């Protein structure tokens, strides 16, 4: 009977199963060195290793165990799709009697882009996102879009502002109070968006890798566990908000505009009235940032969120 290993500590589990992994690969997998990056959010253990193919050529690879089936499914789907995802060397959904998915993928020699800022980074990531969505049209859209509970998140944001006494508390309270009164109409507009394509879902610079060191080299996207059906604006604003606390970077590059240009380049749809939806998404994300103090509580970032909140409310005439 297959057992569940989801409750075991990932790195301890990985080390204990390392001999089984090596045996499962007929010893093509060699010299695993486990690590965890500062930006790694998932529960998988990750290791650098070497893969020796049948002709005897060695390839630097990354081992991930355990992984969610969605990540494995989309990594498999995106093979031979314009190089937008990592090459898959080995994988399985079971190991040593456990119901446990794992995979061995190529190790990129350059990246992630988040380790070194360049004004061209955003254009390259936007291009990768458009290439991903374009390639993913080969697969049926068999799910509904994400339906965030914005009322609950706004309520948690209001509570957090009160309990944590964050900077500009009065301005925050006033803005959240105004949004609360208009929230039903705002949610109706957002939920009326088209859900017509697959998105990466975790589009940030730490998930952007390159195979060569040229400054304009195409980007490949890793960590496909958050792929979901939705509207491209979700990925675009997710990418943009990572720069909200970095005003100089946000002045130098425009993630939403970069995404629009990339989508047009790759023949993907861009509606004429997309700006309104962009501002609605910005406003919702900015308003709910205080609900996530552990991950989004940096004072500089929260100040930038308040600025975004005021600006988008003004443009949307919400008062």
Tokens read off for 29: 């997998």
Give residue 5's pLDDT.
43
- Mean of per-residue pLDDT scores for the chain: 92
Query: What percentage of the chain carries pLDDT values higher than 70?
Result: 94
290 and 301 in contact (C-beta within 8 Å)?
no
Parts of the chain belonging to CATH 3.90.1200.10: 113-315
For residue range 15-34, what is the model confidence (pLDDT) as tens digits? Answer: 888 999 999 899 999 999 99
Once rounded to an integer, what is the mean pLDDT over residues 126-131? Answer: 98
pLDDT higher than threshold 70 for residue 124? yes
- Cα separation, 301 vs 126, in Å, equals 22
pLDDT higher than threshold 70 for residue 218? yes
Query: What stretches of the chain adopt beta strand conformation (E)?
Result: 3-4, 29-35, 45-52, 58-67, 88-95, 98-106, 197-199, 208-210, 219-221, 228-230
Residue 41 banded pLDDT, cuts 50, 70, 90 = low
- Cα separation, 314 vs 308, in Å, equals 10
49 and 63 in contact (C-beta within 8 Å)?
yes
Give residue 280's pLDDT.
98
CA of 12: how far to CAs of 92, 94, 197, in Å? 19, 17, 38
- Which residues have a Cβ under 8 Å from the Cβ of 287 and sit 6 or more positions away? 154, 157, 175, 176, 179, 305, 309
Yes or no: domain 3-106 corresponds to CATH 3.30.200: yes
Residue 129 banded pLDDT, cuts 50, 70, 90 = very high
- 90: β partners: 104
pLDDT higher than threshold 60 for residue 244? yes
Once rounded to an integer, what is the mean pLDDT over residues 226-249? Answer: 96
Give residue 39's pLDDT.
53
Give residue 7's pLDDT.
37
Higher pLDDT, 13 or 186: 186
Element housing 44 (H / E):
none
Tokens read off for 193: 């968006």
For residue range 53-100, what is the model confidence (pLDDT) as tens digits? Answer: 988 899 999 999 999 999 999 999 999 999 999 999 999 999 888 889
Query: What percentage of the chain carries pLDDT values higher than 90?
Result: 82
Tokens read off for 300: 């500089």
pLDDT higher than threshold 90 for residue 140? yes
- Burial annotation 50-71 (CB, 10 A radius, 16+ → b, else e): ebbeeeeeeeebbbbbbbeeeb
Which of 35-44, 62-71, 117-126 has the lowest average pLDDT? 35-44
- Cα separation, 21 vs 8, in Å, equals 17
pLDDT higher than threshold 90 for residue 273? no
Once rounded to an integer, what is the mean pLDDT over residues 194-202? Answer: 96
Structure-derived torsion over alpha carbons of residues 278, 279, 281, 285, reported in degrees to the nearest 10: 140
CATH of domain 113-315: 3.90.1200.10
Parts of the chain belonging to CATH 3.30.200: 3-106
Give residue 98's pLDDT.
83
pLDDT higher than threshold 50 for residue 228? yes
Sign of CA dihedral 164, 167, 168, 172: negative
pLDDT higher than threshold 80 for residue 4? no
- Cα separation, 248 vs 177, in Å, equals 31
Residue 40 banded pLDDT, cuts 50, 70, 90 = low
Residue 1 banded pLDDT, cuts 50, 70, 90 = very low
């Amino acid at each position: 009977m297959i057992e569940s290993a989801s409750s075991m500590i990932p790195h301890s589990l990985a080390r204990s199963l390392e001999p089984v992994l090596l045996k499962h690969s007929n010893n093509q997998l060699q010299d695993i060195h486990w690590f965890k990056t500062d930006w790694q959010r998932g529960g998988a253990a990750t290791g650098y290793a070497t893969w020796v193919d049948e002709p005897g050529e060695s390839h630097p690879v990354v081992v991930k165990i355990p992984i969610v089936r969605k990540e494995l499914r989309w990594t498999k789907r995106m093979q031979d799709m314009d190089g937008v995802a990592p090459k898959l060397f080995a994988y399985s959904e079971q190991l040593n009697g456990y119901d446990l998915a794992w995979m061995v993928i190529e190790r990129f020699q350059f990246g992630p882009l988040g380790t070194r800022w360049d004004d061209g980074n955003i254009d390259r990531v936007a291009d990768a996102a458009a290439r991903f969505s374009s390639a993913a049209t080969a697969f049926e859209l068999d799910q509904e879009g994400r339906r965030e509970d914005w009322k609950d998140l706004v309520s948690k944001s209001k509570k957090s502002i009160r309990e944590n006494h964050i900077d500009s508390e009065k301005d925050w309270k006033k803005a959240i109070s105004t949004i609360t009164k208009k929230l039903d109409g705002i949610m109706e507009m957002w939920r009326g968006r088209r859900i017509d394509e697959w998105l990466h879902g975790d589009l940030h610079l730490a998930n952007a890798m390159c195979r060569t060191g040229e400054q304009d080299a195409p980007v490949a996207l890793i960590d496909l566990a958050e792929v979901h059906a939705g509207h491209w604006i979700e990925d675009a604003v997710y990418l943009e908000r990572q720069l909200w606390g970095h005003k100089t970077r946000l002045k130098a590059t425009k993630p939403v505009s970069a995404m629009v240009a990339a989508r047009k380049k790759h023949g993907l749809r861009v509606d004429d009235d997309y700006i309104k939806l962009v501002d609605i998404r910005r406003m919702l994300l900015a308003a709910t940032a205080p609900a996530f103090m552990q991950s989004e509580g940096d004072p500089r970032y929260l100040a930038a969120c308040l600025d975004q909140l005021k600006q988008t409310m003004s443009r949307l005439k919400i008062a």
